[in-house]
Structure 1
Amino acid sequence: MWGRMFLRPVGIGKSCRILDYRALFTMQLKTKEFESLFTDGLNAIADIFKKHQFELRIAGGAVRDLLSGMRPEDVDFATTATPDEMKSMFQAGGVRMINNKGEKHGTITARLHNENFEVTTLRVDVQTDGRHAEVEFTTDWQKDAERRDLTINSMFLGLDGTLYDYFNGYEDLQNRKVRFVGSAAQRIQEDYLRILRYFRFYGRIATQPGQHESDTLQAIRDNASGLASISGERIWVELKKMLVGNHAAHLLDLIYELGVAQFIGLPEGGNVEELKSVWKRSQGWSPKPMTLLSALFCRSDGVDKLDLRLKISKEEKNLGFFLVKYRHKLLKAQDEPQALIPYTDFIIDSREPDVQLKVCELLKYQGEGQLLHEMKRWTIPRFPVSGHDLRKIGITSGKEIGTVLQNLREIWKKSRYQMDKEELLSQVDRS
């Protein structure tokens, strides 16, 4: 059941000037994913808002997910009640409130039946600086929808299953299109991170690469420099999500083409062709974001520069260094049955932390699917001989113990780690 409601222009007197014109698309959603949201906690909080005659709707990404047939991991709510009104009715109902740091932006988090419910008052942006917004509360659902980034994220869903869509978000979702609400340039200038959100959602929603609207790409090109003012941590969150989505190679190419790369820490003249190759040959193996990004770097100092801008984790940084260093040095053996040996020997000899996981990412980078499968099944064997074992057979010199252990380790490796302690000790010259 669906329809489009056309509301008449709003004006004053005979010389009425059109102030507002709305085309609201509605439909009824009744799916098992939607119905599964109605826990004891949600039913309880819905009753509270209904009792106090305030509207409560599901907002943003959760609506998009439900319309796509998915049960959302996180559900955000929007309401016509102000934060003070929410606090008053929650207190009256004995409802605990937590994490109210977002109150100045209109968000109150209520906890009922061991669940958290994040509810935000409808807002309009009074002033924006490309990073933050000063907001004013409203009871107008369309005004709140207007301030959101993409049409597919601007819809609301009533708790009775009624969809409220002011900007063709449902149609865009059905057609797998990613568009900004209204003017792309204006939306971007309100928060420059929306450039990367556009790329991220394109990779999530669009079925084909390259189906962008020309005015959207021009708005991104014209405003790319605004990303210089956005914190590296926020950029890295969006960039990582984009890299694990669809069309990552195409989108990275576009990031360079539109002049975005220089403002988000990516290397000037990055090796995009190498990244495209790595992306193509690692499909289906879930490479980590840094596995793909490392293809851009000609030298390891590119990883340092990326870290300087984006504040990546120590684990991510070390993986980047590892891949840049070994991607062309550590290669499979020519003899196919022995192909994994260079990698297993490297792991046995290495002092790298999490070395087996890093080698798995290296195999993804190199497109070695069969070896990756074997590596995941392989368990690092424990060298069975210790210095204590050598002392027991009469070798007491520390220097000699070190030499003998190294020789035994080489023998053990050649046996493909099969020889046990007794077999190895029998190789020791005790004369």
Structure 2
Amino acid sequence: MRLKTSEFQSLFNDGLNGLAELFEKHQHELRIAGGAVRDLLSGKRPEDVDFATTATPEDMKRMFQSAGIRMINNKGEKHGTITARLHNENFEVTTLRVDVQTDGRHAEVEFTTDWQKDAERRDLTINSMFLGLDGTLYDYFKGYEDLQNRKVRFVGSAEQRIQEDYLRILRYFRFYGRVALEADDHEPETLAAIRENGRGLAGISGERIWVEVKKMVVGNHAAHLLELIYNLELAQYIGLPPDGNVEEMKRVWQNAKGHSPKPMTILAALLHCPEEVEKMDIRLKVSREEKSLALFLVKHRRELCRSQDEPDSLKPFTDFIIDSRELDSQSKVCELLKYQGEEKLLAELCRWSTPRFPVSGHDLRRIGIMSGKEIGATLQELRDIWKKSRYQMDKDELLSHIRP
């Protein structure tokens, strides 16, 4: 087949046209590769476009140098990748490769001119296709058929692909959430291969695992996939508690899935205590903000909730924000409301702006209160009165409450 969609045509600009002309001039084939092909076949314009070529890195360097094209950030050269900059745009081009040796984390590669050999070393059929710059699809493993049928399958043997890089287990889950229509439509042999090789994830760096887990958790079928991770006994290898609260996680996912929850909002439901947050951080090396959110949710998910007396009132949450010294307290409380399934209160809080407490220590000194201790106690007393007024009292009204 030949692709002629507007999304495909929109990729062509002065930079890509110049790149294509240069490769054609030197008689090296150039094709769009991997995820960009999948996106284009799905009717999406890809955010990133990678290219594959029969030219070796040395060929490409000679071509670019002779054409006066700048090459940048060539750390990937030993793996066959050269990045060229044309018309203020970067183009990442990789020589076709075959894996000579793999250890489950890294691969030693050898360059080839065989497009099918390169496709064989890729993880999933939907990621193994190439697209010529004339729109011709090159599909060696029925990737387009799988994409149309919303199937996620490994190229060739699932066990072999996984053993080449154990992170592919999590990539399978991530793409399953992106592509599959049904929550539980896996091929039994794929799940068997994942179960048998799951311990290999223990040797993968936490940073790489966290990238995949975050993307999986905000995709479709996240609750099913996290439960599957527990059923396949993978949790212990990727930094999640072995006895994670799966039922709580499923409930929270139902509560939050329509409100763009942060990944940690869903994962926090698996955690029983702050110590498990610490253990997860040690393994996955999450960001400071992500760890802080997890600790906040684990601590406040039960105690900070709507009032039984005024169930439709935001007051417990806004009072917490007013009293908090953290700059991001409102965003954390929003995640808490997603966690709790408080849709109405969440909508209200998103519209709410933090009011400014109108009284300062300077105001108290002007009326004769000079002791630092007394100023602190008086400010707290006035702040409590202000909160009870739903933040409506102004400075004069509050100062009138000070006893002479």
Q: Do the structures match in fold with TM over 0.5?
A: yes
1:167 and 2:141 correspond: yes
Do 2:369 and 2:375's aligned partners in 1 also have CA atoms closer than 8 Å? yes
* Aligned counterparts of 2:358 and 2:365: Cα–Cα separation in 1: 15
* Aligned counterparts of 1:188 and 1:353: Cα–Cα separation in 2: 43
Q: 1:384: which partner in 2? A: 358
Q: 2:58: which partner in 1? A: 84
1:128 and 2:102 correspond: yes
CA drift at 1:352: 3.1
**For residue 76 of structure 1, what is the amino acid of its counterpart?**
D
Pairing 1:7-406 to 2, within 5 Å after superposition: 27-336=1-310, 339-406=313-380
Q: Which runs of 5+ in 1 are unaligned?
A: 1-26
Aligned length: 404
CA drift at 1:335: 4.1
* Aligned counterparts of 2:340 and 2:250: Cα–Cα separation in 1: 12
**For residue 393 of structure 2, what is the amino acid of its counterpart?**
M
Q: TM-score, normalised by structure 1?
A: 0.93
The 3-state SS of whatever aligns with 2:71 is: strand
CA distances 1:310-333 after superposition (whole Å, capped 9, x unpaired): 000111001000000000101112
**For residue 44 of structure 1, what is the amino acid of its counterpart?**
G
Of 409-418 and 157-166, deviating more is 409-418
Do 2:312 and 2:345's aligned partners in 1 also have CA atoms closer than 8 Å? no
Structure 1 residues 336, 427: closer, same or farther in 2, change over 3 A?
A: closer
* Aligned counterparts of 1:92 and 1:352: Cα–Cα separation in 2: 56
Give me the CA root mean square deviation.
Answer: 0.8
* Aligned counterparts of 2:220 and 2:312: Cα–Cα separation in 1: 34
CA drift at 1:396: 1.2
The 3-state SS of whatever aligns with 2:92 is: strand
* Aligned counterparts of 2:197 and 2:72: Cα–Cα separation in 1: 37
**For residue 332 of structure 1, what is the amino acid of its counterpart?**
R
CA drift at 1:124: 0.3
CA distances 1:350-387 after superposition (whole Å, capped 9, x unpaired): 22341101000000000001111111111111111011
* Aligned counterparts of 2:125 and 2:176: Cα–Cα separation in 1: 12
* Aligned counterparts of 2:266 and 2:309: Cα–Cα separation in 1: 28
Q: 1:14: which partner in 2? A: none
Q: Structure 1 runs of 4+ off > 3 angstroms?
A: 335-338
* Aligned counterparts of 1:184 and 1:282: Cα–Cα separation in 2: 33
Structure 1 residues 118, 281: closer, same or farther in 2, change over 3 A?
A: same
CA distances 1:298-347 after superposition (whole Å, capped 9, x unpaired): 11111000001000011100100000000010111224575210000111
**For residue 123 of structure 2, what is the amino acid of its counterpart?**
D
* Aligned counterparts of 2:5 and 2:41: Cα–Cα separation in 1: 9
CA distances 1:71-116 after superposition (whole Å, capped 9, x unpaired): 0000000000000000001001110000000000000000000000
The 3-state SS of whatever aligns with 1:28 is: coil
Q: TM-score, normalised by structure 2?
A: 0.99
Q: 1:8: which partner in 2? A: none
* Aligned counterparts of 2:35 and 2:48: Cα–Cα separation in 1: 8
Do 2:123 and 2:155's aligned partners in 1 also have CA atoms closer than 8 Å? yes
* Aligned counterparts of 2:57 and 2:69: Cα–Cα separation in 1: 14
Q: Which runs of 5+ in 2 are unaligned?
A: none
CA distances 1:26-85 after superposition (whole Å, capped 9, x unpaired): x11000000000011000000000000000000000000000000000000000000000
The 3-state SS of whatever aligns with 2:259 is: coil
The 3-state SS of whatever aligns with 1:383 is: coil
* Aligned counterparts of 1:79 and 1:277: Cα–Cα separation in 2: 48
